[in-house]
Each structure stands twice: as C-alpha cells, then as structure tokens.
Amino acid sequence: MPLEKPDLTPLQKAYLVIKDLQNRMEDLSSHAVVNEPIAVIGISCNLPGNINSAVGLWEALLEGNDLISKYGLSNRWNGISDNNSFKNAMPHAGLLEDIAGFDHDFFHISPVEAQYMDPQQRQMLMVAYKAFEDAGIASHTLKGSSTGIFVGIGAIDYTMHILQHTQQSAASPYLGSGNSLSGASGRLSYYFGCNGPSMSIDTACSSSLVALHQACHSLRQNECNLALVGGVNLLLSAQLQESLTQAGMLSSDGHCKAFDESANGYVRSEGCLAIVIKKLSDAERDGDRIYACIKGSAIAQDGASGGLTVPNPQAQASVIQQALKVAGIKSSEIDFIEAHGTGTSLGDPVEMEGIKLAFAERSSTEKIRLSSIKTNLGHLEAAAGLAGIIKTCLSLYNRKLPKHLHYTNPNKHISWDLLPVEVNKDIYDYSLSSKTLVAGVSSFGFTGTIAHCILQEYDKKNIEIIDTEENYTLTVSAPDLEALEELRKVYREYLLTTSNNLKDICYTAALGRNAYKYAFSVKASSIKTMLLALEQAVPLSSPLIKPMSIKKWRKISLPHFPFKLSTHWIGPLPQQIHTSNQYQLEWKQTDSIKMSELPVLSSKSRYIYINPSSSALLSSLQNQDELIVIPVYWQKEDVGNRYPHINTKSDLIDFLKSVIQENDNNLINIIYDTTDLQDRSDESQFNTLFQTAFENGLSFLQSLSSFQSSIGSFILLSQEATQVSKIDKIATQTLQYSLRAWAKSIGLEIPGMFTLLLDISAITTVQELNKLNISAWLQQQKHPNLSVRGDQIFYEILNSIPLQEKRLSVKIEKQGVYLITGGNGSLGQHITQWLIKEGACKIILASRTLVIDVQKNTKIINKQVDVSDEDSVLALNNWLNDEGLVLNGIIHAAGISQSQWFKDQTLKDIDRAASTKVRGLRNISKHLSLKSLDFFVVYSSIASVWGSSMLSHYAAVNAYMDSYVLQLRNKGIPAKSISWGPWADSKMMKQDENSTELLRQGGIIVHRPETVAAHYGKLLHPQYSHEVYVELDKSRFIAVMELNRSSSFWDEMRQSIHKKKSEVLEPSVVLNDNLQNLLPADRAQKIQEILLEQLSVILLINDTSSIGVRKSFNEMGMDSILIVRFVEKLQQQFRKDITTNMIFNYSTIELLSQYINDSFYLTVDSEPKPLVPLNGALTSIESAIKEMDDDELLGLINADIQKYI
C-alpha cells in the first residue's frame, strides 16, 4: 500500500491512493457493464392470424386464440407441388397471409433481384424496419452506427423450391446472395448502414434465443451500442413436412397440447419477429419506452444424450442454473417460465424433469406458473425462442400472464406433485402484487443446442415533464404521395382509437420516424382537432417543414409504415390459405370495448329523428344537453300532431336544407325509426305494409342522397328484429330485418355516410339506454350493427364455422320426395344432380315456365308453379295430395336478381324481387304440408349479410327470408337459410364476362358446382338456422370492404386463417384381441414376434433373426424419432397405452415383451404396472443385464426408482 512506503512524500502517497482507488472503481465499473441489464425497447412481428404488431399479438394471447390453419398447407401446396409430394404430409400449420408479397421499391431492390430473394430475407427487412419504428428510432440515424444485427434462421426451403421448379433460374447471379442464410443479417446491415456485428445463427429451434444471447454479449462488450435481434421461419417444402410427419413429430389434429395427456406432437408455424435492445443505462438516458429487461442468459449443448435429437434434462437444468447465476437472480425469485413446450411425448416430460432439477434448491413454496406460446402459434422453429421472449416481455410489461391453451388433463408421465411449477390454465393477473416480476424463457434446439434467458419487469419511472405548449405539431412523412395518403388513413384510424396523449404522439412522430420527400404537418391542441386538421392537410415537401424543438419526451407506439406489397416469386405461386367457406352471424357482448374508445359528444351533434315510435330512445337522446334532436313524421297518418309532418319529397328536401344551414353546414345524423312496422300474418295486410314501408323508405333515402356530403350517420332503428343468441326468441319482426339489410346496402352507395343498424327490445327503458351511454354509441363508426338487450349492448360479427366442428348431414331417403323451386335455374340443377346421386326417389322441379325433360329422367317431375301466386301453390299442394306424395325436403331456390343503383329504384323493382323470394316463401309455408320434412332450405345471398351496392332490393328480400326462417323454426319446422356467394354459371355471371375477374379482384371467388357438391349434405342439414357459404381471398376481401373505415363486423375474420377441408390418411389399426386368449408362454412368444416385426420395419431390417432380443435399443441406433415411431406402431398393434418411457425403461426386446405381457395381459386391470421379476423371469432379466454396460444399467435402475419416489 502507498501509505506503507516511507520514502514517499505525503502528497505522493495521496496521489498513489487516488490512482489505486481509480483502478478499483474501473474494475467495479467494468464488472457492472458486463452484468448490466439489457433493455428491450422495440418489438415487431408478422405472425399467423394476420398479427403484425406487439399490440395485435398481446390481444390474441389475452383472447386465447389458436392461430393454427387447419388444412392450410394442403391449399398452399396446391400451387407449388404435385399431389404426390404432400399427400402424406400433415396439412395443419400456423401460416402467414402473404409470403410472396414485398415492397421492393421501398427497399430499393429491383423486381428481378427481389424474386430471387428468400422470402425470409424479405420478411426480415420489413419486420426489422417496423421494430426500429416501434423503438422510436428513425432508421436513417442508424447509418454509420455500431448497431449490431443478429438473426436466427435455418430454413432453406426457397432454394429447394427454385432448384426443383426451374433449372434456368438456378444460374442467376442473385441466387447466392438472395438465399444464403448469412444474407438475412448481412442485408439488414447493408440496408440500414450498420457497422456493428452482423450474423445469422442456425442452431435449429433455439436459433433466435441464441442470437439474443450473442447480441446481449456484444452490447456488454461494447462491440455495439444498439442491436436488432430477429427470427424468421417460412414453410415452403412439402418434402420436409412429409419427413417430419413420417418421423411422428407432428400433431395429427393441428393442436399443440403441451403438457397435456393428449399431447401428440407439435404443429409447425411460420412468422417473423424482431426486437430492438440496448443497455439499460443507455435506454434510460435516451428516454426509451422499456418493455422489459434481460438480466442474463446462457447457452449450452445436450452433448452425448440418448441420441442426436434426444433431449438431456441434466443439460437443460444446467443451462437454466447458469442463466440464473449470470442474471444474479435466485431461483426463488422466478414467477413464471415460458417453456419450450412442443407438445411431444418425449420432449414434455424431459423438459419438466430439467425444470425439477434446475429448481431443486428453490426455497419458495409458491408454484412457478408455466405456459408456452406454441399452444397459440405453433412451433416457429428458428424463430420460436424470440416468440417466447416477446410474449414474456409483453406479460411483464402488462403484469398479466396469458393462459396456456389445450390443457385439460395433466400428462400422467410427468410427476406434477414433485415439480415447482403449475400450468397457467387461465389469465393470471399480477396487478395486485407489488413484487418486481421475474421470468425465464427456454428454447431447445432439436440437435442439442439449448438456451435460457432471464427477464425482469422494468420499474417504470414516472418522469414529470413541465410542458407549456398549447399546440402540438404532427408530422407524417412518406417517400411518395400514394404512401402518404395511406398514412393519412392509418393515422386517422389510430387517432380515433388511441388512449395516448397528443404530446407523446407528436414527439414520437417527430423524432422516431424518417423524413421522406413528402409529408403532412398539422398543428392542433387536441386529438379531436388534430383529426380534423389531418383530414384537411395538404401534402408538402419535407424540406419545407420546420423541425420541432423537443427537450424531453416519452416514446410510444405509433402506426407503422404501410408497405405496398407486390408479388415476387420464382416458379409456381403458392396459393392463398383458406379456411372453411362456411360462416355464421354471431353477436358479441361489448364488455371488452372500453368507454374511452367511444367518441366524445360534439357540441354540434344534431339528429333528425324520423317517425319517432320508440319513446325510450327519443327520450334518452333528448336528455343529452350536447345533442339537438328534431323529431318529425315522414308520410305518416293517424299519429297525431305532436311533431311536424312532412309528406312530399320537395318539402323533405327543403326541410333538410334548412337543418343543415342551421347547423353551420356541419354533418347531421338521421335516425329512421321502423319500430312501428309490426308483421302481419294476413297476406293482404302484409302486402300493404310491405309496399308502404319500402315506398316511404325509398322516397326518403333518394331525397337524402342529394345531401350525402352533409350526412354523418344514418341510423335505422328496429325493435326485436335480431336474434342475439340461440335462446333469444325475440327475432320476430321480419319486415324490419329486411329494411336493415336494405339500408345497409344503400349506405354503400352513399359515399361518406355511415350506416348504423340499432335494434332494441320492446321493454328497453330510458334508464337502461342512459346507463349504456347510448348517445355515444350512436356516434361511433366501428360497430355498424348493434343490439340492446337489457343493460347490455351486443355487436354483430361474421364468424367462420371451424372445420373441426362436428357437422351433421342430411339423410336422403331412398323413397323420399323433394321439391325444388326455381328448379330449372343453375342452382336448382346442381342440387338436383346431387339428390339423384344420393338416391332420392322423386325430385319435383317447380318453375314459372314448364320445362320439357329431354333426358327423360324418371326421377324428375317438372311442374309449372308460380310460387308468388297463392292459387298456383294451392294447386301444387292439391296435386301432391292426389298423387299421394309426401315431401321429405324443400329447397326454395327461386329468385330474380337484377343489378340496379338505388337512386334509380322504384317500388316495382323491389316488388318484383320480393315476388318469388318473400311471397313465394310465405305461400309455401302457408299452403304446403311441412310436418314430414327433414329440411326446408331457402337460398339466400351474401348481399343480405354485409350488403351490396346495386343490389339493395335483392339484399332486402333475401334478408326477409333469413329472418322468416327463425319464425318457422320456432314452430318446430326444420328450416334454414343459406346465404350463397356468387356461382360461376349463374345467370348474373353469364351476363357479364368480366364479372368473375371483377369479383376476384374484390376478394370473392365464384363457386364451382363440383366444389360445393361435396358439402351439400352438411349445408342442407338444419343444424344451424342460417349459414353463409362463400369463398374468399380474405386479405384482399377485407381490404376492399374496409376502404372507408374499419368495422368490427370483420373482427373474427381478421383473426382467423382460411382453412381448406382435406382428408388426412389415418394409420391402419391391427387388432390383437386373440392375445388375451393365448397361454402365457405362447402369448409371450407372440408379443416378442410382434416387437421384432415392427422393429424390423422401423429399422429397415429384412431378417428379424438378425435382431438380438437382448441388445439395447440404444445400441441398435434407436434415436428419439425412431422410438416415437416404434411406440406408435406398438400402440396400433396392441391397442394399449404403450409409451416412450417404457422403451427407455425396458430397453431390450426381451425386457419390453415381458413387461407388455405382464402389465397388459396377466391382470384384469388394464393399467400398466411396474415390472416385478419373479421365478423364471429372473433368469431372462439376469441374462439381459449381463450384456449392459454400467451406464445403461444405472439408467435402468434410476428409471425404475423414479416410479416409487
């Protein structure tokens, strides 16, 4: 020490003391840097279910969505593989909507180069850009920086695809750079101009978590000051899928059921994810939003396990313990673990054994909560680790752990009582706890490289910022005007729904986004005024915009740049992934919709209330001081003079002009009350009511269209016209329901006007409406269909009927008689041919004009019947009685359709459309005997479901039938309506040769008769009251349907992945019941012969005599893949619960055959029991263990001991 040196002066000694202290501080500082937490500051993703943001992923996790596309791969590969390539491959997977799309222009890549780029590289570019956006980092600031890029990637499917489908393309100069794995990271560094470390890492399933480990190491070693970590995986190879299927790794039912007794393999998935990370001190200095902190990580290898692909629980335990040590976290501090959790019979028990070993010293008695994102998304393979990291970051950030799906019965091969974990079956809320949350994430590669990461919740610091600004400037920039306009739409939607404050929005947009050539720059003091300013903003050149002066700010998530995707692909293009073509209308409670999402009432909100019949709604609105409500009667008689009467179109137009002028030309809203239009059973009264309702509505709406730029919302009010649930018997007002569909379609022809359909019950009170804040609901424009029941509001959605749902089929009676109205139309002919093939005895084709059957089919009877005429239908009924014919089924397929703009519509046009549809249905129901029917199906149209411009009258009459069916069902009649999409050979399609292509561009694919024929049995069954059958290109369809605004009606469709029904080959089952009847010695010999036979098939050994019955399976080269296949074979042969554990515990043919014999056949109890060697059996066991080495014998002993612990 300096003080002990007498030859130095006091000052010299002091100096040396100072230097000594400095050195010590530097050592401490260096140690602190090495262990400094790493902050996650940006998240981006593109995942199955059309999830393209952290917010979208979090919502899907909280909702417990299973995002696997059943049979999706079958449809995709229809375009890029011949049938033989994938007929045995498992067709289920988690799939992206568009794997061929890429914005080449934005990234300055030529189309010729883009098509040679592995789509994984393209996905990584777009997702990386959005990750920097989410971090609030303008990507142009990265140029020349030491930013590091670390990407987990392993698939080479696109290279295989190119080489398989075209030899010419293989010689392209872009093939190498476009498809090398190193190109995934190198291209990112090149585009963003980053000079830090750049690497692509392939360690199979652990790739992206290993990439994160490397990135954290580089940050702590100051090799980079910022890092992007990515993971990507796409499924393009049918051959690889077939290989994994044959290996027995994949779930046959398309569900990843990790840790459940029914777990039967994993489900492959694709996606791209990225996070942006930096040292915590840097993130805090820069004012970054921090999702979570990475405290430490570790990587290791399984080493010499039971096989290359066999997991090692000791190695897994060690890597977890090492990660905890690096993180400086005690095992007792861990709150939850994001497990690898593949759902395989071998992997799950081993992972739980590893966790048991890793947390053996845990002092806390509270269970660690366990879950796996693979139950939602499937296994993203090279990107799987990062998916787990992002889920964990969001869970820590929101202090909630989403539920683990498909967990019903615990895997009985896991000793749950001895484990420190429990599966998280429901959403777990940590909000009541004050503890700083800590979590672990595991990711294990199937070739042995394993990784674990420890994350901790970030203690969000509330920073008070003194702000004297009254107005804030929002700058939105894009490289071209088209993209700028798209950004205007995106920001408009964002501002309508966000809960963030304007200051943070403007700050983040100013500093966290690139400045491109064109921009909007608008100033406002509130989000409401900002919306208006944004609508009116004129594009400017970015250099003309004065930059904001900002001292301190908090970063938030803003809308991402809307890439303009175009298709880039070599060879046959993969098909879009499709779900079932069958949909249903459903109603959802609005509990999950926050009141903050509803608009604030405008001080100039003005409503014209037409024909006020619902006193509850009118009174509720009149109670609002912020509203001006003007009740008037339109063409009404016998209603008194409480409110002004308007009876002519000219008076109506003058009235509307005056209201608009009084409102300073601001938007006005219309409420059109139809609640007094009560249905009539008498035909004469009904016809009068029907014509009056449509005549009055037509004249009103045609007058209203003259003021389309001044109308905000058109609200059609109905009473008891909708059926909110199956037990809701309210839906009785078919005419009002018809008017709803009519108004919905007309709204599509009036640009800018929002059409809202509101249904209330007869007992709805003012108090209930006030409590629901109904006035705010009338001003929102996200939910176009609402129903009030008691103190609840419901909104309507279109939901696909899952392919796995059990569907009932009609039985066509061999002596059955079936009536088809419109039987000589194309749709009638299709169902006729199907009925003939199904064995129907007689099919009556009823049409207005008599058609001569030139084919002389004895099963077909042509009858001239005008179903719109009561006498004609009565005559048909008399003929049926005279012939002694009893109807088994009716298909009402008659209809007239003609496109027409509603402004040119007349009552005659509506009446013509109603003649066969509405009156025909009423006449059939009234005059034909329905008591012996197996089904009564009416053919409706998708126009009635979501509306159709130029077909409003057609939509109305079809909607009437949809509603009338409910009345028939209430009477016990097995009625059903089917809303069809367009048919390729329909009259409408034939009239315009461009119709098919125009519909395709709008995302609607016309039906082919041969495709629909396979589904008739289920479609005709009255299991559901209403079903929609339409083939859609979902992403394109929704884009068209939401050109003006987003709608909750499509919420479920956005979350679902299109599925296509296919047939999975089930393995054959060989029955061996006779084993039970054999003598014990003979049975033992027979079991051994079966084992040898099946093992020879697995190992491709021709001669079973060459297999030593005392040779261990390990010595034979039986790895985990072969063991799983062996077990599956044995389960089929013996029909017993044979497990992989048994193969490990009884690891020779001799031992295993004796165990199967003793456990399954010597006792009445079918439950397997531990092998207890007795008498002569001891000799065979002794001879078997003599051939085992010490390690094998110790393993066998340990496995047996575990049964009794």
Q: What is the pLDDT of residues 995-1009, one digit of tens each?
A: 777 787 677 888 877
CA–CA distance, 821 with 837 (Å, rounded to integer): 19
Question: Which of 111-120, 243-252, 324-333, 1168-1177: highest mean pLDDT?
Answer: 324-333
Among the ranges given (20-24, 772-776, 868-872, 1083-1087), the one the predictor scored with the smallest mean pLDDT: 20-24
Token pair recorded at residue 798: 């279109």
Residue 171 has pLDDT above 70, yes or no: no
CB 849 within 8 Å of CB 864: yes
Predicted confidence band of residue 1066 (pLDDT cuts 50, 70, 90): very low
List, for residues 813-839, the tens digit of each pLDDT value: 989 999 999 988 889 999 998 899 888
Residue 1152 has pLDDT above 80, yes or no: yes
Mean pLDDT for 352-375 is 94
> pLDDT at position 553, please?
75
Model confidence, pTM: 0.57
Mean pLDDT for 1017-1029 is 93
List, for residues 377-428, the tens digit of each pLDDT value: 999 999 999 999 999 999 999 999 999 999 999 999 999 999 999 999 999 9
> pLDDT at position 914, please?
93
Instruction: Give the amino acid at 471.
Output: N
1157 or 282, higher pLDDT: 282
List, for residues 786-804, the tens digit of each pLDDT value: 999 988 899 999 988 875 5
> pLDDT at position 484, please?
93
Residue 38 has pLDDT above 50, yes or no: yes
788 in helix, strand or coil? strand
853 or 457, higher pLDDT: 457
What value does the mean pLDDT of the chain take? Answer: 85
> pLDDT at position 1081, please?
78
> pLDDT at position 1188, please?
53
Predicted confidence band of residue 1057 (pLDDT cuts 50, 70, 90): very low
> pLDDT at position 1099, please?
77
Q: Is residue 835 packed enough to be buried (19+ CB in 10 Å), middle (13-18) or exposed (0-12)?
A: buried
Among the ranges given (174-188, 221-235, 806-820, 1023-1037), the one the predictor scored with the smallest mean pLDDT: 1023-1037
> pLDDT at position 1143, please?
84
List, for residues 292-301, the tens digit of each pLDDT value: 999 999 999 9
Listed residue (282, 275, 276, 159) closest to 220, CA to CA: 282
664 in helix, strand or coil? coil
Greatest CA separation found in the chain? 135
CB 69 within 8 Å of CB 1057: yes
List, for residues 963-982, the tens digit of each pLDDT value: 999 999 989 999 999 999 99
Strand partners, 809: none
> pLDDT at position 790, please?
87
> pLDDT at position 413, please?
93
781 or 1162, higher pLDDT: 781
545 or 1171, higher pLDDT: 545
Predicted confidence band of residue 1015 (pLDDT cuts 50, 70, 90): confident
Please provide residue 275's backbone torsions phi and psi, each rounded to the nearest 5 degrees.
-130, 155
Predicted confidence band of residue 1012 (pLDDT cuts 50, 70, 90): confident
List, for residues 561-597, the tens digit of each pLDDT value: 999 988 898 887 776 554 568 899 999 888 645 555 6
CA–CA distance, 540 with 520 (Å, rounded to integer): 6
CA 18 to chain centre: 63
The single residue listed with the structure tokens 């007992």 is: 763
CB 177 within 8 Å of CB 226: no
Listed residue (464, 487, 462, 490) closest to 477, CA to CA: 487
The single residue listed with the structure tokens 């920097």 is: 132
CA–CA distance, 395 with 401 (Å, rounded to integer): 5
Token pair recorded at residue 461: 């610091």
Q: From its phi and psi, is residue 1100 left (phi > 0), alpha (psi between -120 and 50) or beta?
A: left
Listed residue (265, 264, 257, 267) closest to 410, CA to CA: 257
CB 234 within 8 Å of CB 157: yes
Token pair recorded at residue 728: 């809701």
Q: Looking at 384-526, list the stretches that DSSP marks H as alpha helix, in order from N- to C-terminal side.
A: 384-398, 481-497, 502-511
Mean pLDDT for 718-742 is 85
Q: Looking at 370-438, list the stretches that DSSP marks H as alpha helix, in order from N- to C-terminal side.
A: 374-377, 384-398
1152 or 69, higher pLDDT: 1152
The CA distances from residue 361 to 392, 502, 1018, 1110, 1147, in Å, are 24, 50, 57, 39, 32
Token pair recorded at residue 194: 């980053």
> pLDDT at position 1061, please?
25
Token pair recorded at residue 308: 């290359």
Start-to-end Cα distance in the chain: 58
Provide the residue count of the chain.
1205
Predicted confidence band of residue 713 (pLDDT cuts 50, 70, 90): very high
Mean pLDDT for 21-45 is 75
